[in-house]
Amino acid sequence: MAKQEIDLSKHDISVAKIIRNASPARYYEEAIRRDSGSAISSSGALVVRSGKRTGRSPADKRVVNSDNLNEEIWWGNVNIPLDERTFDINRQRATDYLNTKEQLYVIDGFAGWDPNYRLKVRIIAERAYHALFMHNMLIRPAKEELENFGDPDFVVFNAGKFPANRFTEGMTSDASVDVNFKTGEMVILGTEYAGEMKKGIFTVMHYLMPKKNVLSMHCSANEGDSPDDVALFFGLSGTGKTTLSADSNRKLVGDDEHCWSEDGIFNIEGGCYAKTINLSREKEPEIYDAIRFGTVLENVGYDPETRAVDFDDTSITQNTRASYPIDYISNAKIPCTAGHPKNIIFLTYDAFGVLPPVSRLTPEQAMYHFISGYTAKVAGTEVGVTEPEATFSACFGAAFLAWPPSKYAEMLAEKMKKHNASAWLVNTGLTGGTYGTGSRIDLKSTRAIISAIHNCALEGVSTETDNVFGFEVPTQCPGISSDILIPRRTWDDPEAYDRQAQKLGKLFQQNFEHYKEESSEAIAEAGPDVRIRENS
């Protein structure tokens, strides 16, 4: 599908050769020829290295503070403001560097499966691996669509091999990822990690879609046998968002980024970007089998002789990744659109061992937990550190939000109410004690809970009200022992559980102080009430 005739002069780019929307095979050839460290694995996937940065650089992300954005953007640590002059300096730095190359790669594609809302995106990059990555992650245009693509809505200048000037005002390192909503451009300097392009486009959709009354969401989605049986899975890294949505009994709509319009939901992307650390066919067969020719394996270790991949190898990074077209998943739904969600599932890994495996949320509780975006990380390897660490990320994806979290929460509440969607909190973390004592809720039990939600098997069952968090906890669920459903009963010392529940409740309250002023009284009161424990 490669089409060479393309004029990039409007982007201030003029090089001898442009390879546009080539086939994966062509990108393989280019990567092997030009990218040191690239190799073809025994499964047929392309193994690449992203250089010294093996993950996103959120501290180096900037959003241009144009006059029309002052009252819209959620300014702060997530969206650090950058003046227009500095953006122009970085853009000039990127284009000057790209113009020194004899050859560049261009990918033209779409963000958003619904034609009414899709964004035309152009990627200009130096590395073939970056082109193949975005070939996978964007929605690939048909031949006629490519021929009539026209001017893009948004352009990414990926000059990641060339550093930012750390002495330029507003720069904090030699990396800079700058988004300019006014000009429809993004500039990448000093980082070759491909995920910056993917998440940059997600940030753009997070800004543009709410303007059209479309809710953009950091979630996975799947569909059952009925078109009205749609589920959304929200969750931070490690909670099971990708694993639980890849269900052999349901069709996968997408694994990471979606929008909810008046017509239903649609995937933003044309591919998946899955973590591969400790990947096995036994645990995640759909993802394992998607790693074949056309897939990009980023920073994954392999045997230099046999080219066999070692998914347990973390010598480069623990953030090993695979990028592949969504149709590599056998039960993917193409086109990636579906009806209105029936169930909203918030996933959390609670390392404190406090939260139940499943709880039903009221609309107000759903908004509280959506804004909170809670999970917990196991303590690190520092001497004497044994406590888990609570992590809160608004809307389960604060790093990618453009508007304040309350805007997305209000839109979610409105859509859930209009379409009568149910909300659930599912803990995929510990039971029977905190970290060091408790054990992780096994994947089989969690899958049984998710199936029960899909099949409406939790409707009408008896429940108990959680004394601290206030949500209704089912006391029975098909396929799992009722013993684990009420977490206090799984602890050897119930009073120790009470203390831990109170501690976690206080952490929720402290975090929500950041959002209290912009939230309604009903939502604020839907959080934990630690006074119940303190006064008892």
The residues that are catalytic are 56, 199, 218, 237, 241-242, 256, 321
**If DSSP states are collapsed to H, E and C, what string results for 220-249?**
EEEECCCCCCEEEEECCCCCCHHHHHCCCC
Q: Which of 471, 458, 185, 503 has the alpha carbon at shortest distance from 353?
A: 503
- Six-digit token string for 25: 């095979």
Q: In what order do the strands lie in the sheet with 321-325?
A: 39-40, 46-48, 296-298, 321-325, 271-275
CA atoms 506, 509, 510, 511: torsion sign:
positive
DSSP E strand boundaries for 299-447: 301-302, 309-310, 321-325, 337-338, 343-348, 358-361, 374-377, 389-392, 422-427, 430-431, 439-440
CB neighbours (10 Å) of residue 211? Answer: 9
Cα–Cα distances (Å) from 481 to 201, 291, 494, in that order, read 43, 35, 19
| Helices within 80-191 (DSSP H only) | 84-98, 128-137, 143-147
Rounded Cα distance, 97 and 95, in Å = 5
Residue 345: C-alpha distances to residues 133, 352, 402, 422 (Å) = 29, 20, 23, 8
**Alpha helix locations (H) across 8-153?**
24-34, 84-98, 128-137, 143-147
3-state secondary structure of 258: strand
**CA dihedral of 336, 342, 348, 352, whole degrees rounded to 10:** -170
